Structure 1
Amino acid sequence: MPQKLNETIAGNGKNMVEGFSTGMMGNIEKSILKKADLFDNSIGRYIMRAMLACFYLTLGTAIAVGTGNSLEHLAPGWGKFGYAFMFTWSLVMIIYLNAELGTSNMMYMTTAVHRKILSWKKALAILMTCILFNAIGAFVISWLLSYTGAFHDVAADHFLVTAVAGKLAKAPLQIFVEAIFANMVVNIAFFVTMRMKDDAGKVISIVFLIFIFAFLGFEHVIANFSSFSLAYFASGGNVPGMTIAAVVINIVLATLGNYVGGGLIMGLNYSWLNNGKTSYSD
């Protein structure tokens, strides 16, 4: 184990079992320690990786809604197919460029606390910092994209505007439940890529898995940072139903639902499943 990672563990006052778990859980534990080491020793770099996650996510959203808008005009009803397929490449960029995504960190940080790798205070600090700078990254790049030809003064019937208006019109329970499923799917994609060695297989898996939540319109709080910001700036603030209250309700409920799906169902559950004295492990 690298010296800095040993220091990270010691600094948190935790007694670790010698070595890592094997398989997928071992990869998760190593990732947790890398994240904690970066956060402790180079917070500026951690912040930049969090902002980059939404740079990539917003770029993916931009090409996805652009494709969806074009297809919808050519063949009504097909816009969501184009949108969902192109949006999947956001996570490909995030995973392969090692950016820090808040919704995957819900899984990592919950696992970290359950396995006593990090204290709950340190895990929460890492998670909240990641989510905050995901939001700032989405806001900044969306503002910049609004000055490009593709997103300068978009029409009220643009795929982006109608999609965001639809999100803001959802009932609270629907937002919460859809958010659970959204982050289950996202973290399944992370789990699957940990088990694969072939890059082509990883990319194909990410595309097919993320297509599920994108096509079904599930609620992902970090993705909503991007789509809400881009819709606001690109339309000049003319998004039906976009009020402060509606945005706050969506963000809060999506965050809570995402945590249930990613943090509890995928993170805590799989940490517990792989913590028993059996040979059945991931």
Structure 2
Amino acid sequence: MKPVSPLFEQIDKSINKKMNLFQSSFMRYAFRAMLACMFLTLGTAVAFAIAMKGEDIAHGLGKMLYAFMFSWSLVMILYMNAELGTSNMLYMTVGVYRKKINLSFAAKILVACIFFNLVGGVLFGYLISLTVPYQDLASDSFFFTSIAGKLNKTTTQILVEAIFANIVVNTAVLVSMRMKDDAGKVAAIIFIIFIFAFLGYEHVIANFPAFSLAYFASHGTMAAMTVGSVAHNLFFALIGNFIGGGLVMGLGYAWLNNADTNYLD
């Protein structure tokens, strides 16, 4: 019998928890998925609000402040046990590979998670757009120009950036699972997520609240924001995120740990 690494014992337990909740109380699962985007919306909102203040102080400061503050989103998601589609890309792929869940059930969980992430992103993006920091923003603000930049990327840029974005996100998830000290865990998550946030990589779930907030805060006046540009970004970000999180990190590490060796994670 092949040895099982402590890390994959934790992953197996997480997969079982997700399966049990999905089967026993679908609405509770859906609510946890919506909560993930509530935390992402809050993280996105405070990150951009502080970034806009930072840009008033010095050009370039805003981007650094944005990346640091956005990183707290994943801390909230992990500690509050919310269901995030991009981390579930790893869990479900690992589960299928390790025969802990069949392909159709894994697909149901992942699709439901992403759908309710979207519902949460639109809902909480709208609600945050009603708050004071997002009233009467200038069309050339750091927030709007950042979102326009995302919507103007080429297919190749979105795809490659999305791959690396979810490699980073799932690295943070796996690293946090291996750490016992909460302070170290939080610090690790923040500085790892900082990588993709600062580099501006594409994360399909994070874009749900970001695009929604931009749409409602601009009252639909952003020239770069069309149905086509949003669909283009989200579609290829979704594919890239699955490649990075599901195939590279999920399948890759599941394969690495499916060996009769002591070199396990």
TM-score (ref. length: structure 2): 0.98
What CA RMSD, in Å, does the superposition of the two structures yield over aligned residues? Answer: 1.3
Q: Tell me what 1:147 maps to.
A: 130
CA distance in 2, matches of 1:227, 1:76: 22
Q: Deviation of residue 170 (structure 1)?
A: 0.5
Judge conservation of contact 2:114–2:205 (CA < 8 Å) in 1: yes
Match of 1:198 among 181, 187, 191: 181
Matches within 5 A, 1:114-153: 114-153=97-136
Q: Deviations over 1:78-123 (max 9, x none)?
A: 1100100000000000000000000000000000100111110000
Runs of 4+ aligned structure 1 residues displaced above 3 Å come to: none
Q: Is the 8 A contact 2:4 2:257 kept in 1?
A: no
C-alpha distance in structure 1 between counterparts of 2:58 and 2:230, whole Å: 31
Percent identity between matched residues is 56
Aligned equivalents of 2:15 and 2:60: distance in 1? 42
Opposite residue 105 of structure 1, the aligned amino acid is N
Task: Give the SS at the match of 1:241.
Answer: coil
2:86 is paired with a residue whose SS is: helix
On the 8 A contact 1:153/1:236 being kept in 2, the answer is: no
For the residue of structure 1 that corresponds to 2:252, the secondary structure is helix
User: Aligned partners of 2:127 and 2:59: how far apart in 1?
Assistant: 30
Greater RCO (Cα-Cα under 8 Å, separation 6 or more)? 2
Could you state the TM-score of these two structures normalised by the residue count of structure 1?
0.92
Question: Which of 149-158 and 59-68 deviates more?
Answer: 149-158
Unmatched tracts of structure 2, length 5 or more: none
1:74 aligned partner, one-letter code: I
The correspondence for 1:158, drawn from 132, 141, 144, is 141
Q: Secondary structure at the match of 1:269?
A: helix
User: What is the aligned counterpart of 1:40 among 13, 23, 26?
Assistant: 23
| Local SS of the residue matching 2:220 | coil
In structure 2, give the amino acid aligned to 1:55. M
Counterpart-to-counterpart distance in 2, 1:203 and 1:232 = 31
Match of 1:103 in 2: 86
Matches of 2:55 and 2:182, distance apart in 1:
32
- Aligned residue pair count: 265
Q: Which amino acid aligns with 1:220?
A: H
- Is 2:246 aligned against 1:263? yes
Q: Deviations over 1:199-229 (max 9, x none)?
A: 0000000010000000000000001101100
In structure 2, the partner of 1:276 is 259
How far residue 145 of structure 1 moved from its aligned partner, in angstroms, is 1.1
Partner in structure 1 of residue 153 of structure 2:
170
- Once the two structures are superposed, residues 37-57 of structure 1 have per-residue CA deviations (whole angstroms, 9 ceiling, x without a partner) of 000001011000000000000
- The answer on 1:237 being equivalent to 2:220 is yes
Q: What is the CA–CA distance in structure 1 between the aligned matches of 2:50 and 2:230, rounded to whole Å?
A: 25
- Give the Cα–Cα distance (whole angstroms) in 1 for the partners of residues 133 and 62 of structure 2: 17
- The reply to whether residue 27 of structure 1 matches residue 15 of structure 2 is no
Structure 2 contact 5–257 (Cα < 8 Å) conserved: no
Alpha-carbon distance in 2 for matches of 1:46, 1:160: 32
User: Does the aligned pair in 2 maintain the 1:176–1:257 contact within 8 Å?
Assistant: yes
Would you say the 8 A contact 2:159–2:239 is kept in 1? Answer: yes
Aligned equivalents of 2:24, 2:136: Cα separation in 1: 43
The aligned residue for residue 94 of structure 1 is 77
| 1:22 positional shift | 3.5
Asked whether 1:58 is paired with 2:41, we answer yes
* CA distance in 1 between partners of 2:143 and 2:84 (Å): 22
SS of the residue 2:137 aligns to: coil
Structure 1 stretches of 5 or more lacking a match?
Answer: 1-16
1:84 counterpart residue number: 67
Q: Quote the Cα distance in structure 1 between the aligned partners of 2:5 and 2:236.
A: 35
- Return the offset for 1:154: 2.0
What is the rounded CA distance, in whole Å, between the counterparts of 2:56 and 2:22 in structure 1? 46
